[in-house]
Structure 1
C-alpha cells in the first residue's frame, strides 16, 4: 500500500464522525435477518471476515438498538465489487426469538473498499 493511501486513510479516520473507541461504524451493503442468524453484506478488499466486526446491542432501548462496528481494517487490495457476507448467531447477540431491533448503520455502497 502506498504511503499516501495510508496517510489519507488515517486522516479520514481521525476526522470521521463514525469513529468510536471500539471501531468504525460500517456502511453495510445489505442485511439478511434469518431465523437463527444475521447475515451482513459488507465491502471487502480480500481480508474481511466476521472477526473484522463487533456488534453492539443496546438492550436498554425499546426496540433494541444494534450497531455494527469494523474493528479490523481491511487494507488488502482485491477487487470484490459485490462484497462478501458475514454471519452472526442471533442467540449469541441476544436477538433470538421475536425480538425487535433497529439497525443504526447506513446501507449503501460507499465503502472505500470498492
Structure 2
C-alpha cells in the first residue's frame, strides 16, 4: 500500500511504504476521471486546495483501491455551496494508462468542510 501526496505548487511526489494514520476519509461531491488527471469535487470553506489531501493507492489487488484523505481541515467560512475542484496527475498517482480502480470514499454533500 502506498500513500501518495501531490504538492499542488511544487509538483513534488512523496511516496511512503507505510499507511498513515493521519487524515480523514473525505466525502466527495463528485469525481471526474480524465485521460491525464483525476478531478475531485470537494467541499470547501475557502481554504481547501490539492495540498489538503493525500491519495492512498493500494495496488495489492486488482482492481486497485484508491482512498482520498483530507489532511488539512478547512476552517474558513466562505460560502461555497457547490464546492471546488482539485486536480491530480494520474501518472504521478500510479494510475496512468488503462487501469481499473475502486474509489473507497463516499459520494454526497455531507462533508464537514462546507
TM-score, structure 2 normalization: 0.81
Q: CA deviation at 1:22?
A: 2.0
Unaligned ranges ≥5, structure 2: 1-19
Give a deviation string over 1:9-62, Cα, whole Å, max 9, x none. Answer: xxxxxxxxxxx7120000000000000000000000000000000000000021
Contact 2:25 2:105 in 1 (8 A): yes
Secondary structure at the aligned position of 1:75 is classed as coil
Unaligned ranges ≥5, structure 1: 1-19
Structure 1: how far apart are the matches of 2:92 and 2:35? 13
Greater Rg over alpha carbons, structure = 1
Please identify which structure carries the higher strand content.
Answer: 2
After TM superposition, the structure 1 = structure 2 runs for residues 43-62 of structure 1, keeping only pairs within 5 Å, are: 43-62=43-62
Secondary structure at the aligned position of 1:110 is classed as coil
TM-score, structure 1 normalization: 0.81
Moved over 2 A (4+): none
Does 2:102 match 1:77?
A: no
Q: Please provide the CA RMSD for this pair.
A: 0.9
